[in-house]
A and B are shown apart, each in its own frame.
Chain A
Amino acid sequence: MDKQSQHLETIQEETTTDYILEMKEITKEFPGVKALDNVNFKVKRGEIHCLVGENGAGKSTLMKVLSGVWPSGSYTGDIVLNGEVQSYQGIQDSEKAGIAIIYQELALIPELTVYENIFLGHEIQKRGLIDWNETIVKSKELLERVRLKVNPETPIKELGVGKQQLVEIAKAFSKNIDLLILDEPTAALNDDDSENLMELLKELKTEGITSIMISHKLREVINIADTVTVLRDGQTICSLDAAKGEVTEQALIKNMVGRAINDIFPKRARKDMGEVALEIKNLNAHDHVSGRDILKNINLNVRKGEVVGVAGLIGAGRTELAYSIFGNPRDYSISGEIYMEGKPVNFNHSGDAIKAGLAYVTEDRKREGLILIQDVKNNISLANLKALSNRGVVNENKEITVATHYKDSLTIKTPSIQQIIGNLSGGNQQKVSVGKWLFTEPKVLILDEPTRGIDVGAKFEIYTIINKLIEQGMSIIMISSELPEVMGMSDRIYVMSEGQITGEMDAADATQDKIMEMATVS
């Protein structure tokens, strides 16, 4: 056999498995971060392919590359669909090629009817006018296809989340797709709706529709997947085949977390803890906006000089827990008790919580933490401005001294404390956030994803700050999606899933597998 025929043979071999989609050596960089690093991702025609990985592993970024949200040219590597290399400039291009993506946050317009939503953006027209009759007839067909029994003239807002999801899928089908991507479709669904959706995906498979599903719920994945690809830190770790019995809970967890905790966590002398600083008993919360019970029977405490980690996946209710403790700015309906140093407290708004000695460094520092159009000084002083004022007049000299103090002690890198905060890097913005709350001299500090989106060096500095505060006897509740961080920094760990605390353990006894198991209980 000469070289050429050998080459031909390998090509034939490759084409015997029919891949609808191949993503080859995809690399996508953001300033300072490699979100995707040489990712290879192959999807067979007609299968249900699950994509799993920790938060930040790169799943959503990969799907954004595929759907054209990140246009061709902003990444390296090839997308091959049905054997042809694609270069999408936007979502419209990928839709034309037959790819539809359904996001976790549904993109339906609540005030419009089901049929209007299904054909929104590509209305059926006759001589420039919308043909509503045809639209309704077609909508009925599409709804039948997704097994949704509702009148197409129902307004979307009258449907539950599960049914809305099905409308989204019907909307996708109205565009002649053959590759359906679902980004955590069951995150907001109850058990029945989730089951329904899984059944539908299986039925669609028999019709020849290929689905890619991103999910955190491992049982669901095991139940439905033909193939599972695991991503970790922006790299493809493995592709597991269900037919060969490779898709097991242990295998998934091991591949998702299999990263060693290296010594990026500064040592802290563990000493005896003091008394309980904050205790939460039987806390329940209901959100009127989404109509969901977001917290169910939460019991949690933190002692003086202790870091309590709260682990869990996105949507587990951890940030909602922080809100519920910190004066309830989102107006949830709340029941339960909160005790500060043994005394029951009741916070009507965040100001009360601050006065009682609570501080909350928010997850989203740009939207909820900082005032980006103001300078470093004003941001640091804001939550405790009254301490700097005399009869309502701000003492600017004192304020400058305070701001300079935090700039130096937290090593905030800024040309001056008069720098507009929007111009600083993420890590320095985070340090300003921390400084702002330290200035309120809290007894209990809640840190929500304290190192999200900041580089390794700044992370280390944040960890060092945490240790210093603990040595001074502060109590810290650290919400984090990064397991190594939770395990490396905490004394004790709570795990949350679906609004409940599903586990509590000493950090010494914690393993990544254990936490991941509790976090994926559904």
Chain B
Amino acid sequence: MNLMTELKTILKKNVRAYGMFIALFIIMLTFSVLTNGVFMSPRNISNLINSMGYIAVLAVGMTLVIVIRHIDLSVGFLAGFLGAIAAILLTQYNLPVWLVIPMVLIMGSLVGLFNGFLVANLNIPAFVVGLAGMMVFRGALLQATNRTGTIIVPNASFNAIGNGFIPDINILPGYHLITLLVGAVSIVLFVVMEFRARNTKIKYNFEIMSMPIFIAKLAFISFLIAYVTRILSMYNGLSWTVVIVLVTVALYHFMTTKTVLGRYIYAVGGNPEAAALSGINVKKITYFVFASMSMLAALSGILYTSRLQSATTTAGTLFELDAIAAAYVGGVSAAGGVGKVTGSVIGALVMASLVSGMNLMGIGSSGQYMIRGAILVIAVIFDVMTRNRK
């Protein structure tokens, strides 16, 4: 097989996985041209990535919910409500940040456990559970902010979560050195892990890419990481939001691909009856997935409150739909059993890029919604078509 035909078959086989990157690339290129390069400026990229954090963590959780063939509409206002709770605990009860964050995350998990119970034990459709939760938490948010209106959070360390950047040693003028170092370390780690995986495949006689293509792939992704970290380091460097999102994605990626629990989740999504007969406790998996979703909603609420430095009465509006859209754009299948958390985060990035680009171009919000809707449908059409062709 020569290189071109190999490249073609690889592209064909992975058209869904690569399609999203290509789409992202086209979107970024288009906006760069249309905005005379402002779109790709360090400041804009940094803002773009930081502003999608609270949707990205929701999209991660939503991926698993959709994989097990459910949906959770309650997460938007749950995020808003728990963000307000965090603000109240900080300002009215004067609790320290290190205590408030785990408290709020635990509250989120408990709400999710309850949702999971309604879905798994009482067989209430998840759509209905989510819809009810949406109303309840919207009311709860209004109740929580009723007395004071918007709750301003003056806590600097809490606000750093959504606005701060990782510290730096100022040696290299114009660049954020630690960020560059993080980028360099990631590239090294990535290359080492890829080589390891390749050697395992060789050991078991699995199909592998030919060496030149493999090197080209490594080079391309390393370049991407390098490029993004360079851009970020030219502004303020890595933000805490990005660190939190990356850690969350890494944990969930590990969980879904390497652990028994992850396998069980995808087995339940792929065929619930076969999973149950294989000894998997489908109810427990459902509890876990809903609890994890709501815990991430709590995290989303913390990120959002921190970013605004306040809890508002409308926080969380439509978060759930943005997260669902990100998951679908990211290749999660509504039929269940298929979808990666990394894909959903890329999906969130695609949607955030659209918003950012259109904002720069001065497109009004009416036009923006319509374009985002169209992109969602196009992404899913693309996904369904490439899936059917198999």
Identify the A interface with B (CB < 8 A). Answer: 326-327, 329, 349-351, 353-355, 360, 362, 367-374, 378, 381-383, 385-386, 389, 392-394, 396-397, 400, 404, 416, 418, 436
Contact = CB atoms under 8 A, between A and B. Distances in A.
Contacts of A400: 204
Contacts of B263: 378, 381-382, 385, 394
Given A374-B266, A394-B260, A350 B207 contact: no
Given A329-B276, A418-B206, A386 B260 contact: yes
Contacts of B274: 362, 367-371
Contacts of A349: 276, 279, 281
A329 B277 contact: yes
B277 to A, nearest CB: 5
B258 A393 contact: yes
- Residue in B258, B261, B264, B271 whose Cβ sees the most chain A Cβ within 10 Å: B271
Given A394-B259, A404-B204, A416-B206, A374 B270 contact: yes
A389 B260 contact: yes
B207 A416 contact: yes
A392 B265 CA distance: 13
Given A329-B277, A355-B279, A394-B259, 11 more contacts: A329-B273, A354-B279, A368-B277, A370-B274, A371-B274, A372-B271, A373-B338, A378-B267, A382-B263, A385-B264, A396-B200
Contacts of A355: 279
B270 A373 contact: yes
Interface of B: 200, 204, 206-207, 258-261, 263-264, 266-267, 270-271, 273-281, 337-338
A367 B206 contact: no
B206 A351 contact: no
A95 B179 CA distance: 74
B259 A382 contact: no
A362 B260 CA distance: 23
A270 B341 CA distance: 54
A327 B337 CA distance: 24
Contacts of B279: 327, 349-351, 353-355, 383
B258 A350 contact: no
A354 B259 CA distance: 20
B270 A372 contact: yes
A380 to B, nearest CB: 11
Nearest to A397: B200
Given A372-B270, A416-B206, A393 B278 contact: no
Chain A to chain B: the 5 pairs with minimum beta-carbon distance, closest first: A351-B279, A371-B270, A383-B278, A354-B279, A371-B271
B123 to A, nearest CB: 11
A365 to B, nearest CB: 9
A382 B206 contact: no
A374 B338 CA distance: 9
A392 B276 contact: no
Contact of B277 (A369, A378, A386, A416): A369
B278 to A, nearest CB: 4
A349 B284 CA distance: 12
A220 to B, nearest CB: 34
Contacts of A416: 206-207
- Residue in B200, B271, B279 whose Cβ sees the most chain A Cβ within 10 Å: B279
10 contacts: A329-B277, A368-B273, A369-B274, A371-B267, A371-B271, A372-B271, A382-B278, A386-B260, A389-B259, A394-B263
Contact of B258 (A360, A369, A394): A394
Nearest to A389: B260
B260 A392 contact: yes
B83 to A, nearest CB: 31
Nearest to B276: A329
A477 to B, nearest CB: 16
Contacts of A392: 259-261
A350 B276 CA distance: 7
- Residue in B263, B264, B281 whose Cβ sees the most chain A Cβ within 10 Å: B263
Nearest to B333: A373
Contacts of B271: 367-368, 370-372
A400 B338 CA distance: 22
Nearest to B263: A385
Nearest to A368: B273
A476 to B, nearest CB: 18
Contacts of B261: 392
A327 B276 CA distance: 10
A393 B179 CA distance: 31
A351 B270 contact: no
A482 B277 CA distance: 25
A393 B207 CA distance: 24
A353 to B, nearest CB: 8
